[in-house]
Each structure stands twice: as C-alpha cells, then as structure tokens.
Structure 1
Amino acid sequence: MSAQSIEDLFVEGLQEMYYTEQQLTDALEDLESSSSSEDAKNAFSEHREETQRHVERLEEVFDSIGHEAEAHEDPVVDAMIRQHEEFVDGDPDAEALDRYNMLAAQKSEHYEIASYGTLTSLAEKLGHDDAADTLESILREEEQALDEVAELTEQFDQQTVEASQ
C-alpha cells in the first residue's frame, strides 16, 4: 500500500476488496465443484451468488465516492487461493477435502469481516455515509456467511461421527 492519507487508505482498501471479491467468486466455484457434500455444494453456490452481488455493490461504493472501480491485487487472498490449490493437488480423500474446503471458507470469511469492518469505519470517518451503509450491509452478510459455514462444519462433524459408529 502506498496510502498517504485516510482517504487513500480507504480507496486502496476498497480496491483490494474489489479484487478479493472477484477472486473469491472463482474460488467459490472451485470449492463447490471439489466438495462431495451436497450441503457444502449448495452453500458454496449460494455464497458465490452473494459474492458476485458484493462485486456489484463495491462498484456502487466506488461510484458514490467519485472513484472508478479498480481492482488492486491482494496478496492475502492470492495466498489463500494458492494454499487451497496446493492442498487439492495433493489428491486428498473426499472427507479431508470437504473439511479443508470448509476451513478455507472460514478463513476467507474472517478476512472479509476484518476488511469490511475497517472499511466501514473509514467510510464513516470520511463522511461517506452511503458507502458506509453499503459496506456495513456487506459486513453483516459476511458475518452471516461465516455463521452458515460454521454450522455446516458442525453438521459435517456430526455426520462424520455418526458414520464412524
């Protein structure tokens, strides 16, 4: 980051989240196709649709603050995606892959929650009220997605225990 002001920090953060949401749209498709659990497939598909809407809403945020929507590479999301690809390349069994997919989803949700929390706060500080409202809404959706992945993981654990008995 080369931010010189709070406004620069805010715009660069938006650019990184714009990139992140675009990358996660593709990553969620990979998670869906590599999962053996139908519940997981459905959850990843639904979250992919929500993520695509986040891309569109971030474009609205850029517009509301007078900046062109521009993606700025985020090495954190690139590392998470690369880590998942490396795991898949190791040819894990279906149960291990399902578990890892849920872990990857939880990691990305935590990252998005932290990022949107910061961006919402910066938008409020800068007086970008419409942007703050939109970012707060996205933040709540990410928190809900994390809750859903955690619940899915719990169900998966229960099914795994039941299957082994």
Structure 2
Amino acid sequence: MTANSLEDLFVEGLQEMYYTEQQLVDALQELEEGSTEEEIKNAFSEHREETQGHVDRLEEVFEAIGHDAEAHEDPIVDAMIHQHEEFVNGDPDEKMLERYNLMSGQKSEHYEIASYGNLIPLAQQLGHDDVADTLEETLREEQEALDEVSTLSEEFDYGDIESPQ
C-alpha cells in the first residue's frame, strides 16, 4: 500500500475493509457450519447477515465519495483465515473447534474495530461527515458483535476438553 495523500490512505483503507468484509461473509459461514452449539451457530449466522450488510454499506460509501467499490487484498485477514484452516485441517474434536471458532471470531472483531476506528477520523478530516456517520454505525455493530462473542466465550462449557493439571 502506497498512499500519496490522505484521500489515497482513506480509499485504500476502505478497499481493505471491503475485502475484509467480503472474506468474513464466507468465513462466518464456515464458523457457523463448524459450530455444534445452537446459540453459537445462531450468533455466527446473525453476524454473517450483518457482515453482508457491511459489504453493502461499504459499496454505498464508495459511491458517496466518488470511487468504484474495489477490494484490496488484506494479508492480515488472509493470515487469520489461513490460520483457521490449518487448525480445522488438524481435525480437532467438536468442542475444541467450537472454542477455537469463538477465539477466531473475537480476533476478527478486534481487527475490524481497529480498522473502522482508523477510517472514521480520516473520513472526518476529509469532510466526508455522512460517510463517517455510516462507518460509525458499522463500528458500533462490530463492537456489539465482539460483546456477543466475548459473552459466549466467557460462558463456554468446556465439557470434557482436557486441561493439563
């Protein structure tokens, strides 16, 4: 990423978030399918639908600032997805996978919160106040999703997952 202006930095950040949200729609589908507890399954399903809304919202943001909606690959997101795939390929038991999925969900929410938190002041500085408001709405939803997955993590029933004594 090479930005020569604040506008370039903002647009490139939006492009990365557009890519991120698109990738997470698919990843959340996999997290949902990899979950056995109904409450966790439902949380991932609901957030997948919300994430699709974030994709749509970013398309509106691009239109509002006069740019084509274009995704720019984000190696951080690719690494998180790759890390999850490696874990799944290790064939963990269902309970271990369930817990790992919650950890993955928390990790991605923290990343999204940080990313939107960086984009909002750029939008404000560039005079895109309506866009900043739109991004703040998404940020609030990401924070709510983090709260939900964090609660599920805290209440997780470890059952018979072995712990070293």
Letter of the 1:143 counterpart = Q
CA offset digits 1:111-156 (Å, max 9, x no partner)? 0000000001100011001110000100000000000000111121
Structure 1 stretches of 5 or more lacking a match? none
For 1:93, the equivalent position in structure 2 comes to 93
1:160 shift after superposition? 2.7
Counterparts of 1:37-76 in structure 2 under 5 Å? 37-76=37-76
Which is helix-richer, 1 or 2?
1
Equivalent AA in structure 2 for residue 91 of structure 1: D
Query: Identity of counterpart residues, as a percentage?
Result: 70
Asked if residue 125 in structure 1 is aligned to residue 120 in structure 2, the reply is no
Q: Once the 2 structures are TM-superposed, how far is the Cα of residue 2 of structure 1 from its aligned partner?
A: 1.1
Is 1:160 aligned to residue 133 of structure 2? no
Equivalent position amino acid for 2:44 in 1: F
Amino acid of the residue matched to residue 19 of structure 1? Y
Amino acid at match of 1:36: T
Alignment match, 2:108: 108
Flag as ranges the 4+ runs of structure 1 deviating above 2 A. Answer: 159-164
Asked if the contact 2:96–2:161 (Cα under 8 Å) also holds between the matched residues in 1, the reply is: no
- Could you say what the CA RMSD is over the residues aligned between the two structures, in angstroms? 1.5
User: Secondary structure of the residue that 1:43 maps to in structure 2?
Assistant: helix
The CA deviation string for residues 6-26 of structure 1, in whole angstroms up to 9 with x for no partner, is 110000000000000000000
CA distance in 2, matches of 1:62, 1:163: 46
Cα distance in 2 between the residues matched to 1:155 and 1:163? 15
Find the aligned partners of 1:125 and 1:96 in 2 and give their Cα distance.
Answer: 45
Distance verdict in 2 for CA 1:116–1:153, change over 3 Å: same
Residue 36 (structure 1) shift: 1.4
Measure, in 2, the Cα distance between the counterparts of 1:124 and 1:132: 6
SS in 1 for 2:71: coil
Distance 1:30 1:161, change over 3 A: closer
Provide the C-alpha distance between the structure 2 equivalents of 1:97 and 1:58, rounded to a whole number of angstroms: 31
Partner of 1:150: 150
Query: 2-side partners of 1:26 and 1:79: how far apart?
Result: 15
**Residues in 2 aligned to 1:142 and 1:3: alpha-carbon distance in whole angstroms:** 26
